[in-house]
Amino acid sequence: MRVRREVPGSPPASCVDQQDGPGFTFVIARADRGNFRLGLGTDIWPAPIASGQCAGPSLRDFERSLPSTTFRLSRLGRKGARLRLGGRSTFRSGPIVGEVVSTLAFRSHGARTEPFGDRRHPRRHPRRFLSVQLQYDLTTATGEASADFRAIQPPLCRVRDACGASGSERYAIASKHATLTMRGLAPTRSERIPRTRTAIRRVVRDGEFFGFTGLGRRAGETTGVFARDGQQECTDTRRHRGSPELIAFVSHGSRLAFTIGESQGVEAPGPDFLRTRCPGPTQAQVLGSSPMAEGHLTGLALVGGHLRWELRGAGAFSSGAYRGTRRGSFVVTLVRTGVRVRVIRSRGGL
């Protein structure tokens, strides 16, 4: 990604940031009269087109301007068939106006049939498991995650067009529209279905519970501020289509752990909730392998019908062209609305 900055009274400057992602996927959907529509997938993380630490639009800002085409499935199955997704299309998002230019084309290698499944391994004998499913309504999810940052010294700050800059990124959420399903399994020798409280205790002790949910659609808002010495600030606010995931997990008598905005390695597995159209560090750079916030309860808290969690996070980061500090503080309350206890047979295992 290369972004060129031109401001009256200042010489032009460029920000260059390399984004390593999986690339685009193709999305095929039925059109009319036996035709299908081929387009580019946008639910890909990290995004194949992203400004990274540079200023600029996100993939969401111009996804409706991405190219697409229609075709017949029989044609795509023929070896050597070509589909073209070229063209030009303008877009406008907030203060940004731009154009998407595509020269994309691909050639089919034909269709083939492959067997499904793996027959190399013999079947295992089925085992019994005590299964417990807990359904919760999320009644409160409020809080914020934030980062304050400053550019590091040259030469990297010159590549990112960030020398002497500082700023902040703040994501705030207030949601009351989500559900959480906790699914638990533990090995058992009996076909007898125990009472709910007993079943939950057994799974907490001998097995594991796991559940995750988003915190509601369009539930959060991010505000970014970026300032260079002697120049006008860049400020931007944007609402997000989704929200960070709430993840809950307890295994073999351990404490019930829960996180918001889990990050796994260098690239975050979901949308970047800390970035705006202004320059600055990405969520993956701010969080590293840490979540926005985390907390713990005793595993036996699942026996009760109400859960209230206070999640917190804090730390320092230094990645890319920026270093700074991060903070996170959230409150989540859940009310149990349903329970299902049964004994199942499975050829798999915990």
Residue numbers of the chain with a pLDDT score lower than 70? 19-22, 44-46, 116-124, 218, 262-270, 347-350
Residues 166 and 314 in one domain: yes
Say if CB 76 and CB 110 are below 8 A apart.
no
Residue 117 lies in a domain: no
Residue 22 lies in a domain: yes
Rounded Cα–Cα distance for residues 168 and 119 (Å)? 54
Residue 122 lies in a domain: no
pLDDT score of 215: 82
pLDDT score of 118: 57
- According to DSSP, the residues that pair with 260 across neighbouring strands are 246, 293
Residues 24 and 165 in one domain: no
Residues 134 and 90 in one domain: no
- Which of 21, 55, 20 lies closest to 41 in space, CA to CA? 21
Residues 194 and 62 in one domain: no
Residue 115 lies in a domain: no
Cα angle 198, 202, 206 (rounded to 5 degrees) comes to 175
Residues 135 and 74 in one domain: no
Say if CB 29 and CB 37 are below 8 A apart.
yes
Residues 139 and 239 in one domain: yes
pLDDT score of 73: 77
Residue 138 lies in a domain: yes
Residue 328 lies in a domain: yes
Residues 53 and 187 in one domain: no
Beta-strand ranges (E) seen in the chain are 2-5, 13-16, 26-30, 36-40, 68-71, 82-93, 96-107, 127-151, 166-175, 178-187, 208-214, 220-227, 234-239, 245-251, 256-260, 293-297, 306-319, 322-346
Residues 196 and 265 in one domain: yes
Count the residues in the chain: 350
pTM > 0.85: no
Residue 316 lies in a domain: yes
Residues 65 and 136 in one domain: no
Residues 254 and 156 in one domain: yes
pLDDT score of 40: 84
Domain with 271, as residue range(s), is 128-346
- Which of 291, 281, 156 lies closest to 224 in space, CA to CA? 281
CA torsion through residues 156, 159, 164, 166, sign: negative
pLDDT score of 252: 92
pLDDT score of 31: 85
Q: What's the number of domains the chain is made of?
A: 2
Residue 116 lies in a domain: no
